[in-house]
Structure formats: C-alpha cells, structure tokens
C-alpha cells in the first residue's frame, strides 16, 4: 500500500497554502453553506451607529461584508486573517462590491492593535486556531474599547457534529496513518467544551460571558459533496499525498457514508455551535 501519511503543517503554513487555497476555491459553496450561521451572528449587531468592528479569522470576507451592510454608513469594518490567499480574495470581493471595508493580513494573537480601537469583535469559526488562546483573547480584549462587545460562533464537540467526522471515520481503514483529532489542540473543535471557553475568556479579562448552544441547519448542493470532502477537512491533505488508486478507493468508500445527509439534490446537516458573547465591562 502506498504510504498515505500526512505531513503536518503549522496552522499558518496550511492557511497560506493547501487550506487557504481550498477555502478560496470553495468559497461560493461555503458562503451558501454557512449563510444561516452568518445571519445568526450578524443579527445581534446594532445598526445605525458609527461602530468600529473587527472580524477575526475573516477568511474570504463574507462575514465582514455582511457586518458592514448591517451596521450601515459610518461604521468602520476590518477583517483580519493569517491567510494571504483568503485576504487577497476578500480584498478583491470588497473591490467588486465597492464596500467600505478593510482587510489586514495578520495574526490576531500577536498583532499590535491600537488599544481600544474597536467597539465590536466578531468571528464565525475563526478563533479556534490560535496557538495560545489566552494570549490571543487578551490581545483582543486590549483592542476593544470600554463597553465593547465580543460575539463569536464556534463549533461544539465532534460528538455533536457527526457530519464533520464522517469522512475521517469512513476513510480511516484506507488511510491508517490519518492523524487523530486532539480536542484540546488548536483546530475546529478546540472550543467544544463550554467550561474551557469560559476559562479562556475569564483569564483573558472578558466579563459578562454568555455561552449559548445553537443548532442551525446548513445545506449545500449534492453535486458539490465530493469536492467538499476531498478539498476540505481531515482527509484533504492525505488524499493529495495518496496515489490515484488509493484516492479513488477512499472517495468510493467515503461518499456513501454521507448518504444519510442527502435529501434529493441537497446535503443537509445540523451545525451544533456555541454562540459566545462577552463584554469588556461587567454589567
């Protein structure tokens, strides 16, 4: 059998190469897939005031642009991400839409923000990848003005999100060296435990912490499912490193494992997330 071991990349390297390029390629699909979650996140923002908003882990800019539309004229919206390909895509998108937003290529954990430079910090699945969560959220706390707000979406546990683990479970007999998930390491499910999230925010200086479970139905075209499986998620890199025969056998095995989520020409699943809110000052 061909050696199918994946060679680990640092998060920054991955987001600037394989993962970042895949997200840009899949952006139209991902925009549609996560639109209900974007709507949930943005619905809690105020409108009609001159707020300064930071979108952490903004990716290709969908949430930043949606926030700018919600906040309206006079707001200052900034998207920040470590991925050069995604920031480039976000800037091109903002230019096409003539949107008054700015995108910054940087790591929110270490970026020298202007103290108190933002009133609102948001993120849709962008805060689970920091190398040091307390350092990162302390930095974001310093970047937030008095009476500022934090509003985030993060995945709950892998057990509550079986759709996100189908590919790895189905492929593991054919990819025996597939790296196991470490729930406490930076990654998709790093915020799976409520008590861990609260401890991180407490230690970072945030107040009025509220961590609410939300379950949102997401959907994408069935015609995009194989591309989604092979370009994103835990088996994407091992598949790129596998020979053609192994790759074909993995796809042949993994695709039917998603049948429970296929409804006609659509794929539907429930995203089990935390809506995380906090403020800079206690009420």
Dihedral sign from CA coordinates of 33, 226, 266, 271: negative
d(CA 56, CA 78): 9
DSSP H helical ranges for the chain: 11-16, 18-25, 27-33, 35-43, 62-71, 84-97, 133-142, 166-171, 194-203, 225-231, 236-241, 244-257
Q: What angle do CA 161, 167, 169 make, to 5 degrees?
A: 85
pLDDT reading at 4 higher than 60 = no
- Domains belonging to the chain, first-starting first, are 11-157+183-217+270-279 (3.40.50.150)
User: pLDDT digits over 236-273, tens only?
Assistant: 888 888 889 999 999 999 999 999 999 999 999 999 99
Cα separation, 133 vs 199, in Å, equals 10
What pLDDT digit, counting tens, does each position of 187-237 carry? 999 999 999 999 999 999 999 999 999 999 999 999 999 999 999 988 988
Share of the chain above pLDDT 70, in %: 93
How high is the pLDDT of residue 5? 37
pTM: 0.92
Measured between alpha carbons, how far is 17 from 19 in angstroms, rounded to an integer? 6
Tokens 């990349």 belong to 9
């Amino acid at each position: 059998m061909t050696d199918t071991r994946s060679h680990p990349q640092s998060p920054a390297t991955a987001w600037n190469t394989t993962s970042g390029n895949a997200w840009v390629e899949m952006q139209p699909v991902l925009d549609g897939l996560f639109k209900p979650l974007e709507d949930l996140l943005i619905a809690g923002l105020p409108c009609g005031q001159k707020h300064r908003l930071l979108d952490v882990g903004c990716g290709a800019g969908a949430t930043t642009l949606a926030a700018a539309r919600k906040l309206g004229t006079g707001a200052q919206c900034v998207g920040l991400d470590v991925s050069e390909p995604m920031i480039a895509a976000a800037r091109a998108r903002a230019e096409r839409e003539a949107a008054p937003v700015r995108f910054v290529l940087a790591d929110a954990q270490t970026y020298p923000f202007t103290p108190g430079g933002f009133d609102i910090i948001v993120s849709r699945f962008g805060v689970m990848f920091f190398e040091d969560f307390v350092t990162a959220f302390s930095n974001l706390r310093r970047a937030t003005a008095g009476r500022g707000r934090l509003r985030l979406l993060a995945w709950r546990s892998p057990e509550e999100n079986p759709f996100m683990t189908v590919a790895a479970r189905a492929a593991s007999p054919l990819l025996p060296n597939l790296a196991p998930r470490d729930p406490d390491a930076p990654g998709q499910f790093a915020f799976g435990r409520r008590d861990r999230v609260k401890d991180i925010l407490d230690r970072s200086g945030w107040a009025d912490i509220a961590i609410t479970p939300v379950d949102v139905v997401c959907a994408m075209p069935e015609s995009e499912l194989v591309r989604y499986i092979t370009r994103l998620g835990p088996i994407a890199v091992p598949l790129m490193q596998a020979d053609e025969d192994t790759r074909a056998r993995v796809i042949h095995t993994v695709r039917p494992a998603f049948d429970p989520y296929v409804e006609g020409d659509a794929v539907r699943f429930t995203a089990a997330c935390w809506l995380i809110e906090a403020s800079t000052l206690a009420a």
